[in-house]
Amino acid sequence: MMTDWEVVIGLEIHAQLATKSKIFSGSATTYGAPPNVQADLVDLAYPGVLPVLNGEAVRMAVKFGLSIGAEVARRSVFARKNYFYPDLPKGYQISQYELPVVKQGKLAVMLDDGTVKTIGVTRAHLEEDAGKSLHEGLANASGIDLNRAGTPLLEIVSEPDMRSAKEAVAYMKKIHTLVRYLEICDGNMQEGSFRCDANVSVRPRGREKFGTRAEIKNLNSFRFVEKAIHYEVARQVDLLESGGTVLQETRLYDSDKDETRSMRSKEEANDYRYFPDPDLLPVHIDEEFIEAVRATLPELPDEKAARFAQDFSLSTYDAGVLSASRELGAYFESVVAALGAGHAKLAANWVMGELASALNRDNVDIVFSRVSPKYLSDLLLRIVDATISGKIAKEVFEAMWSEGKTADAIIEAKGLKQITDSGAIEGVIDAVMAANPKQLADYRSGKDKLFGFFVGQVMKATEGKANPGQLNELLKAKLGSS
Amino acid sequence: MLHNLSIGELSRSLNSGQISSVELTRHFLARIERLNPALNALITLTATQALESAARADARRAAAGERGPLLGIPLIHKDIFCTDGVRTSCGSRMLDNFIAPYDATVVARLKAAGAVMLGKANMDEFAMGSSNETSYYGPVKNPWDTTKVPGGSSGGSAAATAARLAPFATGTDTGGSIRQPAALTGVTGVKPTYGRVSRFGMIAFASSLDQAGVFAHSAEDAAIVLQAMAGFDARDSTSIDIPVPDYPETLNAPLKGLKIGLLREFFDGLEARNAALIHDALKLYTSLGAQTVEVSLPHLPLSVPTYYVVAPAECSSNLSRFDGVRFGYRCEAPKDLLDLYKRSRGEGFGAEVKRRIMTGTYVLSAGYFDAYYLQAQKVRRLITDDFRAAFGQVDLLIGPTTPTPAFAIGAKIDDPVTMYLNDIYTIGANLAGLPGLSLPCGLIDGLPMGLQLIGPHFSEAKLLNAAHLYQQSTDWHKQAPRGFE
C-alpha cells in the first residue's frame, strides 16, 4: 500500500523595513543606487565605528507584533552572528537571537475552499541585511556592493503549521498584505524587499514526529514558493519511498530548472558563535511606547473584511478579496460611497470583475488605475438609473479604460443610451412579432421557453439598448394578448 | 624647564604671552626627536600638523581671546584612536597602511579644546598585552630603565608621559592598560567609568571593557584633560548621558570622613615592600581625616580567568572585520577567497592577537559557550555585585596597581599566564565598569610603583580629589626618570 504523506512547512519571511536610513547607520536605503554610494564608514565596518540603533525599525517591528496579537518583548537583545563573507563587512551580522522583539503571535489565513486556518508565528526579530557579491562582468574578480548592507529586516518565523504549498502561499500572501497595510514594508518582491526561506519536511500521515527538514533559501515570488515546495515534497517522498533518508540541509531553488539543489549540509553548517552584541544596549520597550504604536495601527485586513461583510452584506469571499490591500479597499469604498451602500454588491462585482481584470491584463497597480473610483461610480450610476444596461456598461467601461473619458461622454458619443420609452419598445416588439409568426404561434400554444427568443430579437433590433425590465414587462403583455 | 610644568602653569604662560603654543610644540618635538629613539614610545610623528595646530591655537588665543585650559597644549594619542588623515595602526601590521578617514570622538574633543597632537604612541598590538612587547613596531622601553618594559597596552603613552615628551597622553584601559603602565612608569593614569568617555573611533578590543582615559603628570592635570574628553556621545550607544562634573573644581575638597576600603584580597600575598608603600599612603590619608575599613570581595580572585574568557570572546568577533577585503593588510596574490582570508589574517596579526582570537572563538563555539562564556558572564555579575556591596560600606577602595615594579623586556613574553597575572589588581574595575586611578607612590629597586584607587560608578571627581590631595603632600609624581628630567 502507498504511504499517505503529510507535508509540513514553516516559513521564515524576511520583510525589509521601509525606514529612510539603515538599521545601525545613517545611510539611505533607496533601491537601485550605483554600487557602494549608500555605504558609510559604519556600513563598511571601518575600525573604530559603532552601531546606533534606528528607533524607527523598532517601532515598525512593534507595529507588526501588535497586528498579529503577539507579545512585544519588554527587553530584547541584539546578538552577533559570526561568519566570514566578503559582503558581510564586520564579519558578523547583528541580529536578535535568544530575545527577539516580537514573541508568539498568530494569523488567520483563508484557504481556497473558504475555510480559515490559524497559523502560528513563533517570533519576529530585527536584523541587518548583508551586502551583495557581484560576479558578472568582472574578469577574475568579484565585486562587492554594500548598499544593502545594514538595511533593516524583520524576520518573521512561522510555526510548522502549513500542510501544503497552497497554504504556505496563502500565509505568505497574508503577511505580505499585512506588512503593506502597516506601511512597514513596500512588499516589492522583485527588489527583494519581501522574500522567504521555506522549511519543508514530510511524514506519514498520523505520525506525530516531524520528518527531517530541508530549508529552501531565498524564495522571492509566490509562484517560486509554490513550485519549490512542490518540487521539494516530491523529491523527499521519492527519496523515502525508495528507501532513502532525507538529509537536514540548506537547498537552493533554481527557477530556470524548477528544482532545488543542495547548498550545504548540517555538518558543513557554520557555527555562528552567537553572543550578545556589547556595542548595543538591550532594547527596553515600555507600555507607553507600545500604546503609542498601537494608536497608529490602521484598520487591519481582517477587520476591514469583517466590516465590509457586515456593512455591505458581502460574502466572506468578496469581503476578503476587497480587503486584500489597503488601496483596493479604499477604491472600493469610494465607489460605494458615491453609489450608496445599497449598491455595494454592484460595486463589488465591478471592482472584482471588470476593473480587476483590466488592471491585471495591463499589469497596472490600482493606485494608477486608468478608471478612477469617481469615473467607475459615475458609470455604475448609469446602470442604477437605467440609462444603460449592465451589458452595455461593460462596453462603456472598455472605452473608458482605453480613452480615459467619462461614462456619460462615451454613452453620448456612441449613442448607447438605453431605450426606456415604452412606445418605442412596443414598436420594436410589434415588428418582431410580425416578423416571426411561427414562433409567436408556438409560444402561444405553450412553448414558454420561446420568451427568451423574443427578448433576444428585441435586444438585437435595439442594439442591446432596450431597458431589460421594461422589455420584460411589455413583451409579456404583448405576447399574452392575442 | 617647560616639560616639567603642569598644564595649568603652561596655560598661564600661554595666556600671559610668555611663550607661544608653537614654541611649546617645538620644544616637545625636539625632545621627541632626541629622546624617543631610545624609548620607541612614538611610532608616528605629526610635526607639520602639530605646528599648524599650534599656530591655530595661538591665533585663537590672540584673535578671539580664547582661554581654554588645553588651548595650545601638546599631547600624544595612543595609536588606537582614529586620527583623520593620519596612520592609525593599533600597533599592528594589519593596519600599518591604514590612514584613518575620520577622528575618534576623543580626538575630536581634544582637537576642539585646542590641544595639539604631536604624534601617535606605540602600544601592544590591538591593545593586547601587558608589556608593550606585542607591538608590530617593537617594544617600548621604560624610561626609568630601558632594559625594562613600560607595561601595556598603553606603554607608549605612559613612557612618553614619564619621559616628558608631552604634558599628557591618551590611553585605553580594557584590563589595566592605563593603570598598569602608569604605575610602572611613575605617572598618573585615569581609567574612567565605562560609558563616561566615548568609544567611537577607538579601535575595539573588548567592547564591554574598553574605556579611554588619560596619562598625566598629576591628578590635577588629569582632571583638566578628563574634563575635555568626557561626556555623552550619540554615536556610542554605550556612552551614558549624565552631566560631567567640574573635575578641577573639587580637587581640593577635604577628605575628612572619607571611608577608604582596604581590599583584603589585594593584600593576600602582597610583596612586603609593595605593602609598605600602600600602608604609607594609608597613613597619609588617615592624617587627612580619612578612615580605613577592611573589606572583602570574595569573587575578585576569579577576575583574571573571567577576563580571559570575556575579552578574547569579544575580540575574536571585533577583529573579524580585518579580512584583507576593504582596508588594512592584504596578502600578496591570493588564489581564492579562503586564501585571502587565511594569509591576510595569518600574516597581518601577531602571535598574541592570534592566541586571543583562537581563545575567543573557542569559548563562543557550540558546546563550550555555556561552560565558558555564559559562566564568565555569571562570575562577572558576582564580581560586580561584590563591588557594589563594598561601596555600600566605603567611598573608595585602595590597593596596589601591580604586584611588582617593571620587569625585564623578554622576561614574561613566552609565558602568557604569568603575563596575564600582571593585571590581577586592575581587571576587577573593568569587569564591573568602575573608574580607577593609579598614581605614583614610591620606588622599589629604583623603579616606580603605583597606588590604585577604585571608586563607584561616576566617582572620577572623588578619585581625582583623593589623588590630588595625596600629591599635595608627596612628590613621587614629580620625580622624573634620570636623563628625562
For the stretch B106-122, pLDDT in tens is: 999 999 999 999 999 99
Q: What are the angstrom distances between the C-alpha of B309 and each of A440, B347, B370? A: 102, 25, 12
User: What's the pLDDT at B49?
Assistant: 98
A142: closest CA among A152, A151, A150, A132?
A: A132
Same domain, A51 and A105: yes
* Chain A contact set for B361 (CB, 8 A): 273
Nearest to B321 among A51, A89, A281 (CB): A89
User: What's the pLDDT at A238?
Assistant: 95
Are the beta carbons of B233 and A277 closer than 8 angstroms?
no
% of chain B exceeding 70 in pLDDT: 100
β-strand pairing of A275-276 with A259-265 = unpaired
Same domain, A203 and A320: no
Same domain, A335 and A193: no
Same domain, A472 and A353: no
Same domain, A406 and A432: no
When the pLDDT of each residue in chain B is averaged and rounded to a whole number, the result is: 97
User: What's the pLDDT at B115?
Assistant: 98
Most distant CA pair in chain A, distance: 102
Regions of chain A short of the pLDDT cut 70: 1, 481-482
Same domain, A173 and A282: yes
* Number of folded domains that form chain A: 3
Confidence of residue B150 (pLDDT cuts 50, 70, 90): very high
CA distance A416 to A405: 15
Q: What are the angstrom distances between the C-alpha of A100 and each of A56, A276, A283, B159, B290? A: 16, 12, 10, 47, 50
Side-chain-side CA neighbours of residue B267 (13 Å): 15
A448: closest CA among A479, A426, A482?
A: A479
Mean pLDDT, to the nearest integer, of B406-417?
A: 90
* Terminal alpha carbon distance of chain B: 9
User: What's the pLDDT at A1?
Assistant: 52
Same domain, A288 and A334: no
Task: Please report, for chain B, the start and end positions of each structural domain, with discontinuous segments joined by +.
Answer: 2-253+439-449+459-478
Q: Which residues pair with A251 in a beta bridge?
A: A216, A262
Are the beta carbons of A195 and A253 closer than 8 angstroms?
no
Q: Which of A272, A293, A314 is the last residue of a domain?
A: A293
By the 10 Å C-beta count (0-12 exposed, 13-18 middle, 19+ buried), A389 is classed as: buried
Residue-number span of the structural domain to which A310 is assigned:
301-414
Cβ–Cβ contact A80 with B under 8 A: yes
> Residue B368's closest chain A neighbor by CA?
A273
Minimal CA separation from B218 to chain A, in Å: 29
Does residue B328 carry a pLDDT above 70?
yes
Same domain, A317 and A211: no
A–B CB contacts, 8 A cutoff, strictly below: 95
Same domain, A348 and A277: no
Are the beta carbons of B36 and B165 closer than 8 angstroms?
yes
Cβ of B207 and A46 within 8 Å?
no
Residues of B designated as active site? 78, 153, 177
Minimal CA separation from A250 to chain B, in Å: 19
> Residue A142's closest chain B neighbor by CA?
B337
pTM over 0.80? The answer is: yes
Are the beta carbons of B285 and B466 closer than 8 angstroms?
yes
By the 10 Å C-beta count (0-12 exposed, 13-18 middle, 19+ buried), A103 is classed as: middle
> Residue A47's closest chain B neighbor by CA?
B203
Nearest to A271 among B207, B328, B365 (CB): B365
Cβ–Cβ contact A92 with B under 8 A: yes
Cβ of B100 and A84 within 8 Å?
no
User: What's the pLDDT at B364?
Assistant: 97
Confidence of residue B269 (pLDDT cuts 50, 70, 90): confident
CA distance B230 to B242: 10
Q: Which of A293, A315, A349 is the last residue of a domain?
A: A293
In a mutagenesis test of the A interface, which of B194, B199, B208, B237 is the best target, namely the one with the most A β-carbons within 10 Å? Answer: B237
Same domain, A468 and A363: no
Which CATH architecture does the domain made up of B2-253+439-449+459-478 adopt? Alpha-Beta Complex (3.90)
Does residue B398 carry a pLDDT above 90?
yes
Nearest to B200 among A50, A278, A280 (CB): A50
Q: Which of A247, A267, A293 is the last residue of a domain?
A: A293
CA distance B43 to B122: 5
User: What's the pLDDT at B482?
Assistant: 96
Cβ of B364 and A273 within 8 Å?
yes
Q: Which residue has the cell 522583485?
A: A190
